[in-house]
Amino acid sequence: MRRLGNQSNALIEALHTVQESFGYLDKDSIRYVATSLRVPLSQAYGVATFYHFFSLKPPGEHTCVVCTGTACYIKGAAKLLQAIEQKFGIRPGETTPDGKLSLVTARCLGSCGLAPVGVFDQQISGMLTQAALMAKIGRMEHHDA
């Protein structure tokens, strides 16, 4: 925040930094950012909830992002999401009860040439099939154990 000159217009940048460090925005950090930048709490909260990129809930240990952009949609992203819901019982935006896996959707990752695309703990992977998807998730969880 000091780098950005403690100005109120640095709010979004500051929240980005917080989310990068902690994985999500909790109430305390939003309050802290708001007071340091002298921005009303309501505005800070408003900004945090307005933008999809900010998450107010802690993420699971592993995150699986499925792109639901147009190209991925045409190539069957919805089926991938269904498969995950069937196996893990989570819908987009949810985390499994054991806190292991979070499922997120993205509007477009810009790799439409390789649709459908998913991101598994920062690793982008394209041309997914249902089987490949499950294998990726399996590997991700296994890696941890």
Residue 9 as a binder of another protein (CB under 8 A): the answer is yes
Candidates 114, 121, 130, 141: give the one binding another protein (CB under 8 A): 114
Q: Between the CA of residue 48 and those of 3, 9, 11, 39, 91, what are the distances in Å? A: 20, 14, 9, 13, 22
Contacting residue, 124, 129, 138, 139, with another protein by CB under 8 A: 124
> Among 48, 87, 49, 83, which Cα is nearest to 66's?
83
Stretch that binds another protein, among 72-80, 82-90, 94-102, 133-141 (CB under 8 A): 72-80
Spatial contact of 33 and 69, defined as CB atoms under 8 Å apart: no
Per-residue string for binding with another protein, 23-62, x by CB under 8 A?
A: ----------------x---x--xx--xxxxx--------
What torsion do the CA atoms of 111, 115, 116, 121 make, to the nearest 10 degrees? -30
In the complex, minimum distance from the CB of residue 142 to another protein, in angstroms, rounded to a whole number: 20
Q: How many whole angstroms separate alpha carbon 95 and alpha carbon 41?
A: 28
By the criterion CB under 8 A, which residues form the site for another protein? 7-13, 15-16, 39, 43, 46-47, 50-54, 68-75, 106-115, 117, 124-127
